[in-house]
Amino acid sequence: MKNIYIDFDGVIMDTNRVTYDMLDRLEVDKSDSEKMSEFYSNLNWKKILTLTPIINDAFGCMKKLYASGKCNLAILTHVNSVDEAIAKINFIRKYMKDVTIIPVPRELSKTKMCSTKDSILIDDYSGNLIEWEKEGGIGVQFSTDLSKDKGFPVIDKLDCILDMKFAEKE
């Protein structure tokens, strides 16, 4: 069975758009990493998640992946604080009781938290996918815009991974 790791922000939930809109309203300089870290660390993540739309029936798609029996599924998400990790875990548990959730401190690479060898990472951020593939994994880019060449296989719904050759049962 293939191990499939799914990013949360920008793949399951549209938290990137919601928080970037907030940053714009607050006129936070996005190139200032200290200000950005402070902003994300102090967010009320429980509230943010209630305001954020789910992307393309992500939880329904993950249930379909789980039911297929073709993969081991886990959510691998960067977090800026313990409060963010707790809020995300509690939110995800409303939809999926048994999925593994791995919060990754922002300062660490996702590749340091699990076995990447021959595992699939579905992520919207190409930097994470590049690191993943350097460690022997398979990167799949998530994007609601399929028309652009991203340098990786691209999907816009999580269950589309079942149609890809490398995701087939071993």
CA distance 165 to 51: 36
Confidence of residue 167 (pLDDT cuts 50, 70, 90): low
Is a pLDDT exceeding 70 seen at residue 70?
A: yes
Q: What is the pTM of this model?
A: 0.93
What CATH number did the domain enclosing 114 receive?
Answer: 3.40.50.1000
Residue 64 is assigned to a structural domain of this protein: yes
Please tell me the total count of domains within the chain.
1
Residue 113 is assigned to a structural domain of this protein: yes
Residue 28 is assigned to a structural domain of this protein: no
Residue 57 is assigned to a structural domain of this protein: yes
The DSSP symbol for 27 reads: T
Say if residues 159 and 142 touch (Cβ distance below 8 Å).
no
Residue 27 is assigned to a structural domain of this protein: no
CA distance 167 to 24: 39
Tell me what the mean pLDDT of segment 47-76 comes to. 95
Residue 150 is assigned to a structural domain of this protein: yes
Confidence of residue 169 (pLDDT cuts 50, 70, 90): very low
Residue 19 is assigned to a structural domain of this protein: no
Mean of the per-residue pLDDT values of the chain = 92
pLDDT on residue 6: 98
Owning domain of residue 112: 2-14+52-167
Tell me what the mean pLDDT of segment 20-31 comes to. 93
Quickly list DSSP for 31-94. T-HHHHHHHHHTS-HHHHHHHSPBSTTHHHHHHHHHHHTSEEEEEEEEESSHHHHHHHHHHHHH
> What is the percent of the chain with per-residue pLDDT over 70, rounded to a whole number?
95
Residue 47 is assigned to a structural domain of this protein: no
